[in-house]
Amino acid sequence: MDKKILGIIVGIVIIAIVSTVLAIPNSEIITQTNEKIGLVINSPSQSVTLQNLDEIYSEAASSGIGRSNVYLFWNLVEPVRGEFDWQQSDVLMSFNKKNNLKVTLYFSIINGETLGPFPSWIGKPPIISIGEDRMVSVLDAILSRYDIIDTVILAGETESQFRFNEQNIPVYKDLFNGVYEKTKEKHPDVKIGNAFALHHVINKNLRYIVTDLAVGDFIAFSYSPVDTLNDIVKTPEQAIEDLEQVFDLAGDKKVGIFELSWSTSDFVGGSDSSQTEFMQKSFDFYTANESELEFFTWYRQYDKPEGTCAFEEQEVGEDTLTVGGSGFGSSEHVIERLNQYVCSAGLINSDGTPKSSWIEFKKQVKMTN
């Protein structure tokens, strides 16, 4: 769902890096956490100081979660061939480590209909020309540097990439298997898989793509209860029925819930009460199926201010949610609803006041610990 992370966390521009990093106060570390339960940690604004970010991470960790998603693309970490830039990723990984959080790394060479983004020195290769050894090299560098990463997603909204390119499924499967095997040789404890947007799979009848690409250690799914116009059309009960389908789709693989969302925007049919009800029912789903789940991560911590969630067709970013891989085209109507959905998909309002779902989230997480 959410992908580019302008330095790794979607939409956040870290400012005042100067010596403020030394002035970050120690925050209380939560010792009792559930490593399966995660939250996409984000700032409500596009600019944030390190002290603000420290407080945001501390607040998230206070719920008892044990993981977060980090969206780190190839062009951010290796802008020059063989030369790695760790400045931004070091900051965010340090906050995860400080708060005792494991990391699901979104290092996606596929973002729905879009490939990459790749470094400029790679260009824009088709899948068949993506260098397997180069991918293994950069993944090895990342995993060797950050020991808190225990899961990696190589492709996101994978179903949308192959919806009209079925001939490339075997090509990607060969690439994935090669990268998987070589990466596992050096990092045997790291689990690797692909992610699919469950609502696209259901709405567009793309189940066959998921089953054709059931490779790796797990099959991950993002989910929002929307139709192809980005309107919420499911009740919380119906949304849980959708989630139940992931086990048949994954076959004998474990399932990862990568980004689970429900917007409170009435513009797209959401509300505080329906988000909270879905929160309750989703944790019932988690409890009933815990042994089959690799991780279970909610999207996102904070709303964004109205008017700051502006997307364009084929935009590849943490806040693309569904545009990049939706196949929705450039419809202004659809994108307007996407903007509204994403801006109000958090558990805390952009002004810092918690929604009832944030209170429920903390209650439910503590019940799993």
How many CB atoms within 10 Å of residue 42?
28
Q: For residues 44 and 60, what is the distance between their CA atoms, to the nearest angstrom?
A: 13
pLDDT at position 311, please? Answer: 59
225 alpha-carbon distance from chain centroid:
16
Tokens of 174: 């060969």
Q: For residues 54 and 355, what is the distance between their CA atoms, to the nearest angstrom?
A: 21
* Of 31-45, 213-227, 230-244, minimum mean pLDDT range: 31-45
Q: What is the pLDDT of residues 272-331, one digit of tens each?
A: 999 999 999 999 999 999 999 999 999 999 999 877 776 544 333 333 333 333 333 347
Mean pLDDT of 342-367: 96
With vertex at residue 355, the alpha carbon angle to CA 67 and CA 5, rounded to the nearest 5 degrees, is 45
pLDDT at position 299, please? Answer: 95
DSSP code string of 100-114: T-EEEEEEEEEETTE
Tokens of 33: 């956490």
Phi/psi at 191 (5° precision)? -100, 140
Mean pLDDT over each residue of the chain, to the nearest integer: 87
pLDDT at position 80, please? Answer: 95
Whether the link from the prior residue into 67 is cis, omega within 30° of 0, is no
pLDDT at position 31, please? Answer: 54
pLDDT tier for residue 268 given thresholds of 50, 70 and 90 = very high
The dihedral over CA atoms of 277, 278, 283, 288, expressed in degrees to the nearest 10, equals 110
pLDDT at position 226, please? Answer: 96
Q: Any idea how long the chain is?
A: 369
| pLDDT score of 175 more than 70 | yes
Question: Which residues on adjacent β-strands are paired with residue 110?
Answer: 115, 155
pLDDT at position 45, please? Answer: 87
pLDDT at position 329, please? Answer: 37
| pLDDT score of 202 more than 50 | yes
Q: How many CA atoms does the CB half-sphere of 52 hold within 13 Å?
A: 15
| pLDDT score of 102 more than 90 | yes
Q: Report which of 279, 286, 200, 205 is spatially closest to residue 247, judged by C-alpha positions.
A: 286
Mean pLDDT of 126-150: 96
pLDDT at position 46, please? Answer: 80
Higher pLDDT, 8 or 246: 246
pLDDT at position 249, please? Answer: 97
Tokens of 293: 């789940």
Question: With pLDDT > 70 as the criterion, what percentage of the chain qualifies?
Answer: 86
Mean pLDDT of 203-223: 97
Mean pLDDT of 178-201: 98
| pLDDT score of 13 more than 80 | no
> Please, which residues have CB within 8 angstroms of residue 63's CB and are 6 or more apart in sequence?
39, 361, 362, 365, 366
Q: What is the pLDDT of residues 323-345, one digit of tens each?
A: 333 333 347 888 889 889 999 99
Question: Which residues on adjacent β-strands are paired with residue 226?
Answer: 232
Higher pLDDT, 68 or 29: 68
Mean pLDDT of 138-142: 98
Mean pLDDT of 48-52: 91
pLDDT tier for residue 78 given thresholds of 50, 70 and 90 = very high
Question: Which residues on adjacent β-strands are paired with residue 65?
Answer: 34
Q: How many CA atoms does the CB half-sphere of 168 hold within 13 Å?
A: 17
pLDDT at position 16, please? Answer: 36
